[in-house]
């Protein structure tokens, strides 16, 4: 349960998320201080995850990404080298799901890389939104509606994300503030 919203704008990727932690069986909810949105220590990626906090923690603290070959496009790198690193890390750390020979992650996430926004689904497919925004998590449909409604409003990307997260928290029980919005590159 959660809501993660991303915007790609003029070479900057903004990602925001909520602070809800929801226990799947009892639906108990609590606020979490460990953020669902972060910039990697290398400063190359910004990510926001929904689903398993364990996988989000591994993405933040255990993922080692390979060097990007100049011969590969950004999309090719994300689909192959980046995702291969995520899959290996999850296998090594015991967080991969496997059923009927199909591997799945317990988390979907948004990634900002080289000024572009990507959506990584639980089956490891990598998508690029046609719009300059995307959302994942249980509040994603509400957030997408807010992003659509504000697309020509003139609001700055962080304000649009805050508004989308606020709408998701208002109408979805699995979304809760406080909200955190980060950007990459950081110093722009």
CATH number at residue 30: 3.60.20.10
Our separate counts of H helices and E strands in the chain read 5, 13
Which of 128, 130, 101 lies closest to 113 in space, CA to CA?
128
Question: Are the C-beta atoms of 68 and 75 separated by less than 8 Å?
Answer: no
Which of 138, 115, 119 lies closest to 128 in space, CA to CA?
119
* pTM for this model (two decimals): 0.93
Q: Where are the beta strands (DSSP E) in 2-144?
A: 4-9, 12-17, 20-22, 29-31, 37-39, 45-51, 97-99, 102-104, 107-113, 116-120, 126-127, 133-136
Range of the domain at 35: 4-184
pLDDT tens digit sequence for 67-91: 999 999 999 999 999 999 999 999 8
Residue 43 zone, left/alpha/beta (φ > 0; ψ -120 to 50; rest): left
CA atoms of 158 and 5, how far apart (whole Å)? 10
Q: Is the pLDDT of residue 186 over 90?
A: no
pLDDT tens digit sequence for 146-158: 999 999 999 999 9
Number of domains comprising the chain: 1
pLDDT tens digit sequence for 30-60: 778 789 999 999 999 999 999 888 999 999 9
Distances (CA, A) of 53 to 2, 81, 109: 11, 23, 11
């Amino acid at each position: 349960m959660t809501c993660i919203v991303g915007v790609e704008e003029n070479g900057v990727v903004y990602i925001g998320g909520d602070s809800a932690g929801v226990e799947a069986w009892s639906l108990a909810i609590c606020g979490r201080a460990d953020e669902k949105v972060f910039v990697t220590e290398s400063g190359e990626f910004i990510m926001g995850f929904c689903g398993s906090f364990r996988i989000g923690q591994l993405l933040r603290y255990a993922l080692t990404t390979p060097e990007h070959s100049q011969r590969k496009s950004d999309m090719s790198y994300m689909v192959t080298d980046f995702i291969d690193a995520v899959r290996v890390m999850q296998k090594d750390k015991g967080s991969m799901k496997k059923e009927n020979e199909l591997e799945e992650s317990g988390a979907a996430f948004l990634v900002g890389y080289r000024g572009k926004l990507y959506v990584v689904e639980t089956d490891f497919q990598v998508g690029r939104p046609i719009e300059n925004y995307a959302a994942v998590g249980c509040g994603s449909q509400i957030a997408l509606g807010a992003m659509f409604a504000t697309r020509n409003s003139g609001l700055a990307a962080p304000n649009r994300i805050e508004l989308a997260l606020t709408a998701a928290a208002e109408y979805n029980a699995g979304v809760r503030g406080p909200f955190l919005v980060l950007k990459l590159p950081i110093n722009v």
